[in-house]
Structure 1
Amino acid sequence: MGAPKKSGVKVSEEAEELARVPLQAILLADSFTTKFRPITLERPKVLLPLVNVPMIDYTLAWLESAGVEEVFVFCCAHSKQVTSYLKKSEWLSQPNFTVSMIESHHSISAGDALRVIYERNVINGDFVLISGDTVSNMSLTQALQEHKERRKKDNDAIMTMVIKRSKPHPATHQTRLGTDELFMSIDPNTKQLLYYEEKADYAKGILHLDKSLLLDNPSISLHHDKQDCYIDICSPEVLTLFTDNFDYQHLRRHFVKGLLVDDIMGYKIFTHEIHSSYAARIDNFSSYGTVSKDIIHRWTYPLVPDVMFFGKSGTKLERQGMYRASEISQSHSAVVGPFTVLGSGTKIGDNSKISNSVIGQGCTIGSNVQIEGCYIWDNVTIEDDCELRHAIVCDGVTIKSGAVLEPGVVLSFKVVIGPEFVVPSYSKVSLFQQPIEEDSDEELEYADSTSAMNSLMDKYGAEAASQVLETQSSSASELGVGGAGYVWSKCDGGNEEEWRHSVAPIPADKIAEAMEILEDGLDYDGSILPPSGELKSDNDSDIDDIENPRDDSCFGKEVEATFLRLVHENIQEDHVILEVNSLKLSYNKSAADCAGAIFHAMMKYALEIPHSSAGSLVQNVDSILTTWRKLLTSYLAEIDEQIEVILKFEEMCLESAKEYAPLFTKILSIMYDKDIIGEEAVLSWEDEKREADEADKVFVKQAQTFIQWLREAPEEDDDEE
């Protein structure tokens, strides 16, 4: 009886192998939003440069590396530009990797796009659904295997969403990518998604859950520390569902939430969480800046500037994260700071300073120019004495001498800023006039025009369009003498969207304002949800009495990440103190906890800085403690907090940073000399160790000479008096 069974299994496996279809992907080359206006009125979002490479190249490179064999690129807005770019690229000639374009000029949502693809009948099995503005280096193997195994057991398991941890800022309720805080409920055992909500009642910290969710599931985990990567593994039924239900337009707001509340169909969505891998979608200008920095800091390896696509790159990595392409002309007096990318053919004049920025190809930067945290695209001209901070400047822009771009400014293609003109914070400037209410997305953003002039010609006629641009360039416009372009008015509701979704850091006053609101909200007689917590529903427990312990390691990592942003991104120290305060509130920590976490981050960073000897390591520590003393001492007002720092240092010397062990006393004396810790704290620390085991007295004994000096120093001072 056994032999036939084995034979049957073998035949089944062979049949399955013969029936195997290539892994397919649907890449949506349109986000179906207007968040990148005015830029996307002239160029599709997927072709916008991300660290000098079009966004879509990152997505295609990942799909190819992840084992996808056939990609269908769905084009709508500016479809001719997308198809033209792909036809000229090398993607169409890669072995074992097929890229096909599907165009539609009538689709205005992701739902419409998937319905068109269903009608084309090109998807033959499970497929990857992704947007062309996604950057990732994750492996698909495990996620695909989990999806297929679930499908074998349950035909209703039609979709697997990729998620990862990304705790939102507690004051602004947005992630580092500028997206809204996301609440999820997941079955901790099966990883099934049970609840998905992008917003909640922030002021009171309340999350409204349907009672049936708790009754139907014996155990659920609530999370607001997860990021939706917008990478989905789908079964063919997903396309069928979009075709059957024309109310499904948005992938998350309509489709995902619709399935979660649909008790009739019974379809299920599951999650796959990644940890060490990278995945992020560029949803707004804020995430554009964040992902750019991540690429420069090499979190996306191998998708980094010096290891680019098709095995070739003309960009070289230099010290401190500086990338330089070929044929760059830089004055000897010009200073290019760390974490900066310089495109080929760029020229930089005398005494100019550039830091934490991306400069495109063929740019001309004059003398005495200051550029910080900016994204300058191709063929931009910046004349002498200009100042640019945290701005986006598109192709062909001219900024005349002495002009200033304040944080958050976006200059669209070929705009001209007049001499000494100051462009206010968060301004958006374009050769297009801001669309009036009657102008629809289909008329403007989804048109096939390839430039601002084409659009003006469509709207006004060729002669009138020429007159518009000539008038702007020859007279004093709203952008100064000789300026060209229109300043768009702010969005409804004030400046909230501007500062929330900008490449500029969130202003300290906005965080302080949000913190006040959050602290006022804590008067509510309820509880703020922790980053994640498990709810168990049974007859012996009361859901209202659930305890959700904080994760100390998560708090330490959050503080360390905040400190490193201070180091690498030149963020104001006061701004960082506000961020640490918000973490303190979110994790319910004390000032001593904050001091210990900050000190740990500083000492870890000192170890990572190259050093050739114990003496050079001490110099690293001395420099760091001097530079960021204010940040650390902000949490050392009391003796107990200073003792916590000493105890944290002991712990590091014994466990994670043993290189410091022989230098304990030397560094302790440096901290005393810089008034980071006081005499009373050191002596109290010694007293606490009197009853400790001998193993816990190692560093007290090592520091006895220093401690004795502290005890005797006051007596010597009295004798002198």
Structure 2
Amino acid sequence: MGAPKKSAAAAAAARVSDDPEELARVPLQAVLLADSFTTKFRPITLERPKVLLPLVNVPMIEYTLAWLESAGVEEVFVFCCAHAKQVINYLESSQWFSQPKFSVTTIESHNSVSAGDALRFIYERNVIHGDFILISGDTVSNMSLTRVLQEHKERRKKDSNAVMTMVIKRSKLSPVTQQSRLGTDELFMAIDPDTKQLLYYEENTNHLKATLSLDKMLLIDNSSIRLHNDMQDCFIDICSPEVLSLFTDNFDYQHLRRHFVKGLLVDDIMGYKIYTHEIHSSYAARVDNYRAYDTISKDIIQRWTYPLVPDVLLLGNSTTKLERVGMYRASEIVQSRSAQIGPLTVIGTGTRIGDNTKISNSVIGKGCDIGSNVLIEGCHIWDNVTIEDGCQLRHSIVCDGVVMKSGAVLSPGVVLSFKVVIGQNFTAPAYSKVSLLPQPIKQDSDEELEYADNNSDVETSCAPDNMNGELTSELSEIQGSATSELGCGGVGYIWSICEGASEEEWRHSIAPISAEKLAELTQTTDDDLEFSNQDGNAPASSGELRSDALSDSEDDDEDTKNDSAYFEKEVEATFLRAVHENVQVDHVILEVNSLKLSCNMEFSACAGAIFYSMMKLALETPHKTTDELSRAVLNIFNSWHRLLKSYLSGKDEEIEVILKFEEMCSESAKELSPLFTQILHHLYDKELISEDAILGWEFEKQGAEESDRVFVRQAENFLQWLKEASEED
């Protein structure tokens, strides 16, 4: 890539005054890209733009605009390319065009094929007059912009070459799949720990390789570098106006990260710099693929994104209420008494649910007609979908107007595009994509363009002009020509998986990784690690390289605490889902093992987290007396003792459970403290905790402060009984 020319950059700088008072009068602006320039959401995005796809029954762009308004942005320029008319029509009829202190302006272009083209087009329009927020319309966040804007402006005052600040967040990476929970690839970053300057940025697309090579000059020029493979790029950027001019001066800058960021990091001529801002308690994530779509939906339902949650972010006149265990129901629902609605589920207004139907961990849109004896697990059902009796749907996405005839089955990972009909008793194969549009023969460029121009094999004229409009006559003709692929009465085409893309299908799918695939990946990873150790090259991990000192141990301790808290919450969510859905213990063990691998935890941590989840469930069980609470605990032990026993492989793990119980009784669950000895006895009777572990716990408490021996004193009679019984034996 050539060095940036000075002309456009100088022109941009000239447009912005250096007078502080004048700068203060410039409204905070944002550029929102309403086109992701990828094909990851095909075939759906052939008919509707990605930013208008529903995320927990609300179009994605609503989350982005709601956050920008709450964060103090005053002017938003929405760049539209693919299906631009749909985006413009939606915004013009929405609430955003009537806000007094929040203006939304659409910018339309039909010739832009990348983010770089979009930013060059915006530069030509001369609408940005100061620092601005660069974001895509598929981003969900509740972070405050105050601190990151202040840091950016202070750096700009000291160094005019500080042109961008990227928002990042820690994210646990699976050592097996080398992916984050959002389905994104491992990201290597090198950051100066003192200045927060970004020095290196690289995505690891080779999932079997966990090493990286750094230019030795990077180590020579910087006395302190912190390496990360545990960071998530939130794709929220604070930019100076020079960013737009840099794209104008460099036409080979197409992609924001692969070209622009990496280009600036290796450019030694102009000296432009990129900095990072790490968020901790706030939420920020981008819907980059189907797995991220599913994960972020669950985060919204579990209220990590508050106030952007179903019962607060309302559209129209619908009313959604939060009920028990994360279940949301809208108004005017017709639900059979025998239907079972599980946790972490959203039901849209006007939906009808038949007899003996089971729905869990799913989002159901408005106006859906769901028959009897239907099983829906981990699915996203959009609006006006008809599901006849006896159907089964697992971990799938079903778009507007789809009809599933009786007995039809969706295997995990299936995507049904708009108005598809699945025939009677037909089983859609796992990871398949079905559409009324035939699969394009020609693939787009490496930018994976999501819009089809007049020369593509599938023209955009096939898509409906409005959100709920009827398909055009071209689609009507298709309905009569593709019935055999989807069984009797079925209508649509099953898209074939491109050669070499099967790996990406399951990596990006909303379906969980199968046991067979997990075992295969575990074996591959073990072999690769063994080879690396023989070679003397350990896999890269987050750490700080200093010329004079090692990394700060306090930071490591804080990271460990955060990792443990995250792991505990994930295990609790997995356990509660298993309880409410009657999941077999073997399947729960598989899920916990997957979490153990992804979070790099020990068996003792698994045992502690499972015990914590069991006690939390007992506390949430209705009870009026301590006796009723004790019976609830005993019932849970009876039902789930094999799950807990699976992670009690030795004395250390058993002692960890007792220490966890102590911690709960002292802090988060003091209601259990009077029952400490009784529950400890239950654990002993169920052969979950051995005599050696209990006496070992007592021995560890010898010499401790009296405040740490409260429960040892409470259990004195039980401990004495154990010792006497041991002597008699």
The structure-2 alpha-carbon separation of the partners of 1:400 and 1:138, relative to structure 1 and needing over 3 Å to count, comes to: same
Report if aligned partners of 1:530, 1:550 keep a CA contact under 8 Å in 2. no
Which has the higher mean CA deviation after the structures are superposed, 114-123 or 564-573? 564-573
If the length of structure 2 is used for normalisation, what is the TM-score? 0.88
Q: Secondary structure at the match of 1:246?
A: coil
Out of 715, 718, 724, the residue aligned to residue 703 of structure 1 is 715
2:454 aligned with 1:449: no
2:659 aligned with 1:647: yes
Identity of matched residues, %: 68
> Structure 1, residues 218-245: CA drift from partner, whole Å, max 9, x if none?
1111111111110101000000000000
Corresponding residue for residue 560 of structure 1: 568
Report if aligned partners of 1:30, 1:76 keep a CA contact under 8 Å in 2. yes
For 1:380-395, what aligned pairs fall within 5 Å after superposition?
Answer: 380-395=385-400
Q: CA RMSD in A?
A: 3.0
Out of 508, 519, 538, the residue aligned to residue 526 of structure 2 is 519
For 1:208-287, what aligned pairs fall within 5 Å after superposition?
Answer: 208-287=213-292
Distance 1:442 1:554 in 2: 38
Distance 2:463 2:35 in 1: 19
For 1:567-586, what aligned pairs fall within 5 Å after superposition?
Answer: 567-570=575-578, 574=586, 577=589, 581=593
Out of 155, 162, 171, the residue aligned to residue 157 of structure 1 is 162
> Structure 1, residues 31-50: CA drift from partner, whole Å, max 9, x if none?
00000000000000001011
Distance 1:137 1:257 in 2: 28
Q: What 5-or-longer segments of structure 2 have no aligned partner? A: 1-16, 466-471
Matched AA of 1:505: P
Corresponding residue for residue 107 of structure 1: 112
For 1:268-307, what aligned pairs fall within 5 Å after superposition?
Answer: 268-307=273-312
Report if aligned partners of 1:214, 1:537 keep a CA contact under 8 Å in 2. no
Distance 2:662 2:629 in 1: 17
> Structure 1, residues 103-150: CA drift from partner, whole Å, max 9, x if none?
111111000000000011111111000000001111111111111111
Out of 321, 324, 345, the residue aligned to residue 326 of structure 2 is 321
TM-aligned CA deviation for residue 559 of structure 1: 2.5
TM-aligned CA deviation for residue 533 of structure 1: 1.7
TM-aligned CA deviation for residue 632 of structure 1: 2.5
2:91 aligned with 1:86: yes
> Structure 1, residues 175-225: CA drift from partner, whole Å, max 9, x if none?
111111111111111111111111076545322111111111111111111
TM-aligned CA deviation for residue 554 of structure 1: 3.5
For 1:113-262, what aligned pairs fall within 5 Å after superposition?
Answer: 113-199=118-204, 203=208, 205-262=210-267
Q: Secondary structure at the match of 2:460?
A: coil
2:645 aligned with 1:633: yes
TM-aligned CA deviation for residue 90 of structure 1: 1.5
Distance 2:706 2:505 in 1: 59
Corresponding residue for residue 4 of structure 1: none
> Structure 1, residues 681-715: CA drift from partner, whole Å, max 9, x if none?
22343445556565554323321222333345578
Corresponding residue for residue 396 of structure 1: 401
Corresponding residue for residue 683 of structure 2: 671
Corresponding residue for residue 29 of structure 1: 34
TM-aligned CA deviation for residue 630 of structure 1: 3.2
Which has the higher mean CA deviation after the structures are superposed, 144-153 or 485-494? 485-494
Distance 1:254 1:522 in 2: 31
Distance 1:250 1:567 in 2: 41
TM-aligned CA deviation for residue 330 of structure 1: 1.3
> Structure 1, residues 546-581: CA drift from partner, whole Å, max 9, x if none?
x97894324422431331231344477556645655
Q: Secondary structure at the match of 1:155?
A: coil
Corresponding residue for residue 498 of structure 1: 505
For 1:523-538, what aligned pairs fall within 5 Å after superposition?
Answer: 523=530, 524-525=532-533, 526=536, 528=538, 532-538=542-548
Corresponding residue for residue 491 of structure 2: 484
Q: Secondary structure at the match of 2:189?
A: strand
The structure-2 alpha-carbon separation of the partners of 1:337 and 1:644, relative to structure 1 and needing over 3 Å to count, comes to: closer
Report if aligned partners of 1:201, 1:207 keep a CA contact under 8 Å in 2. no
Corresponding residue for residue 683 of structure 1: 695
Distance 1:652 1:224 in 2: 33
Matched AA of 1:488: W
Distance 2:705 2:35 in 1: 65
Q: Secondary structure at the match of 2:167?
A: strand
Q: Secondary structure at the match of 1:556?
A: helix
Which has the higher mean CA deviation after the structures are superposed, 159-168 or 604-613? 604-613
Corresponding residue for residue 11 of structure 2: none
> Structure 1, residues 455-480: CA drift from partner, whole Å, max 9, x if none?
xxxxxx96x865432233xxx51100
Matched AA of 2:657: V
The structure-2 alpha-carbon separation of the partners of 1:329 and 1:450, relative to structure 1 and needing over 3 Å to count, comes to: farther
> Structure 1, residues 149-185: CA drift from partner, whole Å, max 9, x if none?
1111110011011111111112111111111111111
Which has the higher mean CA deviation after the structures are superposed, 94-103 or 514-523? 514-523
Q: Secondary structure at the match of 1:61?
A: helix
Distance 1:542 1:708 in 2: 48
Distance 2:348 2:222 in 1: 55
Matched AA of 2:503: E
The structure-2 alpha-carbon separation of the partners of 1:642 and 1:555, relative to structure 1 and needing over 3 Å to count, comes to: same
If the length of structure 1 is used for normalisation, what is the TM-score? 0.89
Corresponding residue for residue 3 of structure 1: none
Which has the higher mean CA deviation after the structures are superposed, 506-515 or 547-556? 547-556
Distance 1:626 1:530 in 2: 44
TM-aligned CA deviation for residue 302 of structure 1: 1.1
Corresponding residue for residue 3 of structure 2: none
Distance 1:437 1:14 in 2: 53
Corresponding residue for residue 468 of structure 2: none
The structure-2 alpha-carbon separation of the partners of 1:446 and 1:299, relative to structure 1 and needing over 3 Å to count, comes to: farther
Q: How many residues align?
A: 692
Report if aligned partners of 1:325, 1:343 keep a CA contact under 8 Å in 2. yes
Report if aligned partners of 2:168, 2:233 keep a CA contact under 8 Å in 1. yes
Distance 2:398 2:685 in 1: 47
Matched AA of 1:664: F
Corresponding residue for residue 469 of structure 1: 479
Matched AA of 2:460: S
TM-aligned CA deviation for residue 591 of structure 1: 3.2
The structure-2 alpha-carbon separation of the partners of 1:551 and 1:529, relative to structure 1 and needing over 3 Å to count, comes to: farther
> Structure 1, residues 601-620: CA drift from partner, whole Å, max 9, x if none?
54456556776554454455
Report if aligned partners of 2:363, 2:380 keep a CA contact under 8 Å in 1. yes
Distance 1:146 1:534 in 2: 23
